[in-house]
């Protein structure tokens, strides 16, 4: 979301973020319709543009990703949780991500399945 807000000045849902192979975000957006609308490119147009950029201009994409990472890092103000030894916000994000992953695995638990108590704090 930080990448989307840095690129577009706002965020939203559904969130779409494209990353370099080393997981650096370089393009982000929220909703893209199936068909192009006035001022809004379609999802297929976005996919083609991102693919073309990575294929034809990978150095530019990496530079943009590096600038994005720098912008996000410069705005990060995380408080540390003295007991956990990790940034408190990061810890909450990791737990939330783990809960979402567990609830969304179609072959393992599926949506709405109880989450182990260790992650549900």
Locate the DSSP E strands across 1-121. Answer: 16-19, 25-29
Residue 69 has pLDDT above 80, yes or no: yes
Phi, psi (rounded to 5 degrees) for 119 = -100, -10
Q: Assess whether pLDDT exceeds 60 at residue 104.
A: no
Entry pTM: 0.57
Query: Phi, psi at residue 4, to the nearest 5°?
Result: -60, -45
CA quadruple 100, 27, 45, 22: dihedral positive or negative? negative
Cβ count within 10 A of residue 97? 11
CB under 8 Å, gap of 24 or more: what pairs does 100-109 form? none
| 28: exposed, middle or buried (Cβ count in 10 Å: 0-12, 13-18, 19+) | buried
pLDDT surpasses 50 at 109: no
pLDDT above 90 (res 82): no
- DSSP E strands: which ranges in 4-97? 16-19, 25-29
pLDDT of 32 reads: 93
Residue 88's pLDDT band (boundaries 50, 70, 90)? Answer: low
Tens digits of residue pLDDT in 16-68: 999 999 889 989 999 999 999 988 999 999 999 999 999 999 999 999 899 88
Confidence (pLDDT) at 108: 45
């Amino acid at each position: 979301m930080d990448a989307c807000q840095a690129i577009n000045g706002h965020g939203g849902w559904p969130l779409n973020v494209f990353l370099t192979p080393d997981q650096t975000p370089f393009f982000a957006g929220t909703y893209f319709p199936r068909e192009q609308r006035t001022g809004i490119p379609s999802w297929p147009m976005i996919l083609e543009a991102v693919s073309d950029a990575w294929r034809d201009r990978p150095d530019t994409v990496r530079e943009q990703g590096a600038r994005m990472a720098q912008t996000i890092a410069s705005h990060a103000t995380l408080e540390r949780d003295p007991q956990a030894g990790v940034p408190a916000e990061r810890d909450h994000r990791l737990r939330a991500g783990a809960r979402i992953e567990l609830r969304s695995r179609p072959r393992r638990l599926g949506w709405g399945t109880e989450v182990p108590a260790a992650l549900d704090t």
